[in-house]
Structure 1
């Protein structure tokens, strides 16, 4: 999830915004209505392994994808 803040607001709320980034949110800083920067969390290696484990656990609870489904995705929009 992303939140958008203006530059001035980002200056006054920097500590709060960094806490949100540490919690996993992205913060977009805008000048007027134009986004100019993104604050996002830097992942460490041990976090990457945990993320991979979460993805694998999520995949285990879903039905397997068939070869026919994969072919249909590959061929979607193709002209033969």
Structure 2
């Protein structure tokens, strides 16, 4: 068995970070929606949490796309 390269370790670390961000975003968003409904918050606060969740998901999508692109790059082209 070969040991993973430093680039593969970095990509795995980024992948774990993306997974944590996605999971935490869903939990926080669901909790905010439930709390807002129970406490009778105004709809604008619900939209605020919606926009924050969308921003987190877009960030996760961008980082995932970057990870995917780096894995598809041929060896020796680490500068891109």
What TM-score do the two structures reach when normalised by structure 1? 0.28
Query: Structure 1 or 2: larger strand share?
Result: 1
Q: 1 or 2 for the larger relative contact order (CA 8 Å, sep ≥6)?
A: 2
Query: Structure 1 or 2: larger helix share?
Result: 2
The higher radius of gyration belongs to 1
What TM-score do the two structures reach when normalised by structure 2? 0.28
